[in-house]
A and B are shown apart, each in its own frame.
Chain A
Amino acid sequence: MTLAPETTDLKVQLLLDGTGDWFTVCDLALLTPGRGVAALLPDGRQAAIFLDRSGRLYAIDNRDPFTGAAVLSRGLIGSAQGRPFVASPLLKQRFDLESGKCLDDDEVAVTAYEVRSAGVAV
């Protein structure tokens, strides 16, 4: 085995709030443009991570606040007036992907995470 670090494919990373650490989730290649995946975070919470058609990444909490089910990652994404959103697959409320705000109800929001793709040394 060689000891020299090697850069591999691009990875998806999430900034965990509070810690300031970037948490590596998976290969970027596992994401389909226009769809999301769910990730299990170290503290047991879940994030929904999306890739849009222009290659931008977004991450918000996976739990749908209206039903309690962890399903936002399975919603369809779209854009309205240039802002990206996901529509919950259960009751179809839209959530802004950058801020986590519910677009159908001012009082509801989910956590938004900072996310990036990066070449990571293994």
Chain B
Amino acid sequence: MSTTAPVGTGPRPTIVLVGHGMVGQRFLEALAERGLTATHRVVVLCEEPRPAYDRVALTSYFSGKTPEDLSMTDMAFIEKERIELYVGDPAETVDREARRVTAKSGQVFEYDILVLATGSYPFVPPVPNKDAEGCFVYRTIEDLLAIEEYAKTKATTGAVVGGGLLGLEAAGALKGLGLGAHIVEFAPRLMPVQVDDGGGAALLRTIENMGLTVHTGVGTQEIVTDESGAVTGMKLSDGSELATDLVVFSAGVRPRDQLARDCGLTVGERGGITVDEQCRTVNDPHVFAIGECALAADGRVYGLVAPGYEQAETAAATIAADEASFTGADLSTKLKLLGVDVASFGDAHGATEDCLDVVYSDSRAGLYKKLVIGSDGTLLGGILVGDAEAYGTLKAFTGSVPPVSPESLVLPAGAGEPAQLGPSALPDDAIICSCNNVRKGTIRGAVTEHKCTTVPEVKKCTKAGTTCGSCVKVLGQLVNAELEASGVEVDKGLCGCFGQTRQELYEIVLALRITSYQDLLDRYGREGARGGDGCEICKPAVGSIIASLAPTLGASGYVLDGEQASLQDTNDHFLANLQKNGSYSIVPRIPGGEITPEKLIVIGEVARDFGLYTKITGGQRIDMFGARVEQLPMIWARLVDAGFESGHAYGKALRTVKSCVGQTWCRYGVQDSVRMAIDLELRYRGLRSPHKLKSAVSGCQRECAEAQSKDFGVIATANGWNLYVAGNGGATPRHADLLAQDLSDAELIRLIDRFLMFYIRTADRLERTSTWLERIEGGLDHVRDVVVHDSLGICDELEKLMADHVANYRDEWAETINDPEKLSRFVSFVNAPDTPDPLVSFVPERDQIKPDLPLLSIGTRPLEGTATR
């Protein structure tokens, strides 16, 4: 590696970090930012078999995130900063006298500075049989893998000991694994630390409605096992017994301070390595402790990641001889458990003298909101259950008197005055991102000084929004407000002809029932574009909007009718895919990838008779290449005759719904995935959308059809279907997100109807579902609110639009070959209809044809010139 030599002479001083968890990783980043990785040798001992990962998002493993997705460690960073990272090699002893750490492998490291970031371990109450087979904790990826394995093979019911934040998350995960799930909580309510009785009651109702069984006010006395030593149940303190095959202990965590104890460092009464405000241990100036293993100067051990990050920054700053201190942190939390928002911030329990509560509660809707207000009107804290929209704003105002009445922020819209408070009302020193301690002023600076213009840029520049994500919405509003204020004109227009976005044009077309592109251009186009010919960007985009709304608008849905014909990209214009030498390829629809031998033979015969190149596509169908324009109608006449229809491979429309063979043949299958795939493909065929749509259906969790890489993917469960959305393969792969679970056939189809129509309505031009979901405000949660909970009240309309589409579907090719006028378009030359284009020619390769492109060499310039454009 070519890095410049460290400054100074002699060997570099050594920093040894023990523990590569979330806080340890942040500490390394802080070292690098301060240039300490250049001046110091940095050694990291990592106990777990994988480098640092996002523990906060651990549970998302069960909704499809892979361990790689969760990783927080960029190996390029480790290498570039010349950090020595020893994975799977924990520190065993520390000799403070000799300043030496010995690792399990026997390696010995001498240190100038030792940083302990060993985190916590889950507390397991000392009940009999607590180590029985089937008992687990919930802390690491390895724990989750073990739980998943056991749940799949040996359990139908699971119980979680502990109804706190982690316990609820674990219970949700068990339910997601298909187990009947119980929560046993000793306190009289759920999440006793974060919420009060009222909030606990709202939470309880919602959680029970989801099919989880909650037992509060009871303790676990004993784990019951069978002869083989496997869990069969648990005895509770009220004398009852609960049958369960799997137990997850989630009864709190304890600091991992054993290493520190063993080398004589002071620890707190209830654990935690005692440190000062600089995060330095009180006994030894060479040793620091940060994160969950540290007992901070304010006498608390923080079990949240944000304070840990602050400690990491403080320790790094202190090492760099900068001034910094950690004097305590905010314990605000916002999380989403099984789709329920729960947030608490500031003095949530009203401990301040003379404080007053403002409470809004609607048990039916599972809503509970409480604000704690000081006698002078200062907002001190609060609890939000069921709807935490206002969390970001409220938290930022905590400690000050908000400019509007706090009640207006928690009352539902419509009741009283609507909340008018945007983040622009916040002072510059308000903390917007508490995970990363980023203030409003810093975010504004990112826009005004560092010239960031988008949320992703601001995230990168300030780190705001990169941890739990709960602040991203406020972040977006701030960035937009700042851009507007600084006069940066953000032109979101579709193209040079329209100042509106695709979504705005969609709304205009739908509301005003506009069926003509020219009409739209002349009335709503940019000044200079009205009356003109538009462009190649807006024509197909508007064509697609009109086509997808055609039945509702009363327009013709047929893409070659009237003006529509002039709007289509060449692919849509010839209902085939243009290839590089000017020839076309043909893809008949093969729903679900299921095809009879007779039809296979027809494809073979057609390809042979017209001399076409054939290839099986990734979407489980057959592509025939090398047809000239004038051959398309003849080829399709034969295909239509044999019962084929257009596969829309040429359009921004539904492509295929892949399937595995499923229950019918596969010994693992739990549902008929082929039938479902065919039903879906036939339902959505021909649907014009902002970009192509791909789908797949798998017959069980083994996922042979790769449904999680599709725009909408369906995976069978014992109880029905799980629906995943916004996945993508290709150049920017994205794992799909779970939208809803265990749906019946009808529920599944209704939800997909809504999802697709909502996407078509709100996406930008050429925006796949994956980028759309990442872009739109509120992301997956918002989409779920809209399509599952009908929060905008538009689901009826979305369903109606889809019903119109389904009822009005016609096969474009069958229609074309029966219309002599349209057929007349399928010629190479208007003045010589029978002459084929002499520039389209082929040469043999591997017993088939390929385009003959010697002509390229006569071109005015080489092709590479265009590739980099």
Contacts and interface: CB of A to CB of B under 8 A. Distances in A.
Interface stretch (B82-90, B314-322, B834-842): B834-842
B592 interface: no
A80 B535 contact: yes
A63 interface: yes
Contacts of B485: none
Given A39-B831, A68-B855, A74-B573, A79 B534 contact: yes
A75 B582 CA distance: 12
Nearest to A34: B566
Interface in A76-114: 76-82, 84-85, 87, 89-94, 104-105, 107-108
B216 interface: no
Interface string B153-194: 000000000000000000000000000000000000000000
Contact of B536 (A52, A53, A92): A92
A55 B573 CA distance: 21
A46 to B, nearest CB: 7
A38 B533 contact: no
Contacts of B578: 71, 74, 89-90
Nearest to B858: A68
A116 interface: no
A120 interface: no
A89 to B, nearest CB: 4
Contact of B829 (A38, A69, A94): A38
B204 to A, nearest CB: 58
Q: Is the interface of B mostly helix, strand, loop or mixed?
A: loop
A91 B869 CA distance: 10
A53 B530 CA distance: 12
Interface string B813-839: 000000000001000111110010111
Contacts of A31: 830
Nearest to B539: A76
A40 B861 contact: no
A122 interface: no
A4 interface: no
Contact of A104 (B563, B830, B861, B869): B869
Nearest to A109: B860
A52 B540 CA distance: 16
Interface in A49-69: 49, 52-53, 63, 65-69
B856 interface: yes
Contacts of B536: 75-78, 87, 92, 94
B581 interface: yes
A79 B538 CA distance: 12
A30 interface: yes
A68 B534 CA distance: 26
B866 to A, nearest CB: 5
Contact of A80 (B496, B563, B865): B496
A7 to B, nearest CB: 20
Contacts of B563: 34
Most buried by A among B540, B582, B865: B582
Contacts of A118: none
A70 B851 CA distance: 13
B540 A76 contact: yes
Given A35-B565, A74-B578, A80-B496, A68 B839 contact: yes
A109 B339 CA distance: 58
B225 to A, nearest CB: 68
B569 interface: yes
Contacts of A87: 535-536
Contacts of B487: none
Contacts of B830: 25-26, 30-31, 37-39, 49
Interface in B541-565: 563, 565
Nearest to B535: A78
B763 interface: no
B469 interface: no
A38 B628 CA distance: 14
B114 to A, nearest CB: 59
B730 interface: no
A65 B533 contact: no
A108 B570 CA distance: 23
Most buried by B among A67, A87, A104: A67
B574 interface: yes
Contacts of B565: 32, 35
A67 B574 contact: no
B475 interface: no
A104 to B, nearest CB: 7
A25 B831 contact: yes
Contacts of A68: 581, 839, 853, 855-856, 858-859
B580 interface: yes
Most buried by A among B574, B581, B837, B866: B866
Nearest to A56: B533
Contacts of A38: 828-830, 837
B333 to A, nearest CB: 49
Interface residues of B, number: 47
Contacts of B860: 65, 107-108
A65 B582 contact: no
B561 to A, nearest CB: 11
B518 interface: yes
B528 interface: yes
Given A63-B839, A67-B856, A79 B533 contact: yes
A112 B353 CA distance: 85
Contacts of B76: none
A34 B533 contact: yes
Most buried by A among B570, B573, B831, B865: B831
A54 to B, nearest CB: 8
B135 interface: no
A74 B577 CA distance: 12
Contacts of A90: 578, 580
A68 B830 CA distance: 20
Contacts of B574: 74
Contacts of B807: none
A14 B366 CA distance: 75
A65 B573 contact: no
B611 interface: no
Contacts of A46: 829, 837, 839
A20 interface: no
A52 B533 CA distance: 7
Interface in B786-829: 824, 828-829
A74 B518 CA distance: 20
B532 interface: yes
A65 B709 CA distance: 37
A44 interface: yes
Most buried by B among A34, A37, A69, A81: A69
Contacts of B567: 34, 76
Nearest to A25: B831
B863 interface: yes
Interface in B667-720: none
A117 B563 CA distance: 22
Nearest to A74: B570
B858 A44 contact: no
A107 B582 contact: no
Nearest to A35: B566
Given A26-B831, A34-B566, A91-B866, A69 B533 contact: no
A44 B859 CA distance: 17
A52 B528 CA distance: 17
Contacts of B581: 67-69
The 3 A-B residue pairs whose C-beta atoms are closest, nearest first, are: A34-B566, A78-B535, A87-B536
Interface of A: 25-26, 30-35, 37-40, 44, 46, 49, 52-53, 63, 65-71, 74-82, 84-85, 87, 89-94, 104-105, 107-108
Given A66-B863, A79-B533, A89-B570, 11 more contacts: A26-B830, A37-B829, A38-B837, A66-B861, A66-B865, A68-B853, A70-B582, A71-B582, A76-B570, A92-B536, A94-B536
9 contacts: A30-B824, A38-B828, A39-B831, A46-B829, A53-B518, A69-B580, A69-B581, A75-B570, A85-B535
